[in-house]
Chains A and B, each alone.
Chain A
Amino acid sequence: ETGVTQSPTHLIKTRGQQVTLRCSSQSGHNTVSWYQQALGQGPQFIFQYYREEENGRGNFPPRFSGLQFPNYSSELNVNALELDDSALYLCASSLVLGNYGYTFGSGTRLTVV
């Protein structure tokens, strides 16, 4: 059984640009959640996808959007990047909706300059 893999591991973007981060869920997991972790803080919930539909969203603006594909891989897209978007972005998958057993990836470190 493979774990959760994220790509790229590191990324540098310029303010105003757009970015796409990718996540491959653990085999068989149909639920994926994305989290933003600023330096020195705990992860903050961005949104969750279940069976390709958004299933809950945290306090993030619409320029944060996502997609989940039939093979349960997913993307996080951020438009009009701001300096404060610099953070570690974590993807977590779980086998069952509402199950606490999230498996986290190692994250993508995004730096906006």
Chain B
Amino acid sequence: GQQLNQSPQSMFIQEGEDVSMNCTSSSIFNTWLWYKQDPGEGPVLLIALYKAGELTSNGRLTAQFGITRKDSFLNISASIPSDVGIYFCASLYATNKLIFGTGTLLAVQP
């Protein structure tokens, strides 16, 4: 079945550093979503991508829809302590089911 693999699994960085993470699949998707989940909370949508090659920004966050439609990338510039959390990629299949990636844990040291 469909599976989204994220890397790295975890990252420990200093405040101010830039962060890159990615999400890959063996299946083609038409939508890529990036969520952030804080401890004890549900995921919150950060960026949505709809077209191969699309590059979209949301403040310090930038995400790209891979040209093969099998991958996506999320970059965070100038990280701050509140960026701490788990980042999930996700996509839609069967029109109404969200499939989530394995997650990337981000820790930011002040």
Please, which residues of chain B bring their CB within 8 A of the CB of A41? 102-103
A contact patch SS: loop
CB <8 Å contact, A42 and B100: yes
CB <8 Å contact, B42 and A56: no
A97 smallest CB distance to B (angstroms) = 7
B93 nearest CB neighbor, chain A only: A45
Residue A68 lies at the interface, judged by CB distance under 8 Å to chain B? no
CA distance A31 to B40 in the complex (A): 23
CB <8 Å contact, B45 and A48: no
Residue positions of A touching B, CB distance < 8 A: 4, 31, 33, 35, 40-45, 48, 55-56, 58, 90, 92, 97-98, 100-102, 104-107
Known: A41-B102, A106-B42. A100 touches B95 (CB 8 A): no
Chain B contact residue count (CB 8 A cutoff): 23
CB <8 Å contact, B97 and A56: yes
CA distance A33 to B97 in the complex (A): 8
Known: A42-B103, A105-B42, A106-B42. A100 touches B97 (CB 8 A): no
- Count how many pairs of residues, one from A and one from B, have CB atoms less than 8 Å apart in the complex: 58
Residue positions of B touching A, CB distance < 8 A: 4, 31, 33, 40-45, 48, 88, 90, 92, 94-103
CB <8 Å contact, B100 and A43: yes
Known: A100-B31, A100-B48. A45 touches B98 (CB 8 A): yes
Q: Which 7 residue pairs spanning A and B have beta carbons closest together?
A: A104-B42, A42-B100, A45-B97, A98-B95, A56-B96, A43-B100, A90-B42
A9 nearest CB neighbor, chain B only: B40
Please, which residues of chain B bring their CB within 8 A of the CB of A90? 42-43
CB <8 Å contact, A97 and B96: yes
A24 smallest CB distance to B (angstroms) = 13
CA distance A25 to B44 in the complex (A): 15
CB <8 Å contact, A42 and B102: yes
B81 smallest CB distance to A (angstroms) = 21
